[in-house]
Amino acid sequence: MILRFLFYLFLFYLAYKLVFDFALPLYRTTRRIKKGFREMNERMQQHTEQYQKNTTTGPNTQATKPGGGDYIDFEEVK
């Protein structure tokens, strides 16, 4: 009878150690890492949206053609 009680007590102790020393920290770490990746992804999306907004609403970047006779062709000098 007492041997059975000690066996169940030992099993309860092992289950307790498994849950509180392995499973719970693993769960917390996994959740923290997922949260970090989610926040990083949100920041990247915000940065990308801001960059796209700045490039589309920025100054007109069309190439300007030089005036009539002021343009000089590039010539290689040796």
What is the pLDDT at residue 64?
54
Within-domain flag for 61: no
How would you class 77 by CB atoms within 10 Å of its CB: exposed for 0-12, middle for 13-18, buried for 19 or more?
A: exposed
DSSP 27-50: HHHHHHHHHHHHHHHHHHHHHHHH
Say if 49 falls within a structural domain.
yes
pLDDT-derived band at 19, boundaries 50, 70, 90: very high
Is 10 a domain residue?
no
For residue 21, the model assigns a pLDDT of 94
Q: Is residue 1 part of a domain?
A: no
Q: Which amino acid is at 16?
A: Y
In the chain, % helix, strand, coil (3-state, to 5) comes to 70, 0, 30
Domain that holds residue 39: 19-54
- Assess if residue 59 is contained within a domain: no
Quote the percentage of the chain above a pLDDT of 90: 63
pLDDT in tens, 41-51: 999 999 999 98
Q: Indicate the number of domains in the chain.
A: 1
To the question of pTM greater than 0.75 for the whole model, the response is no
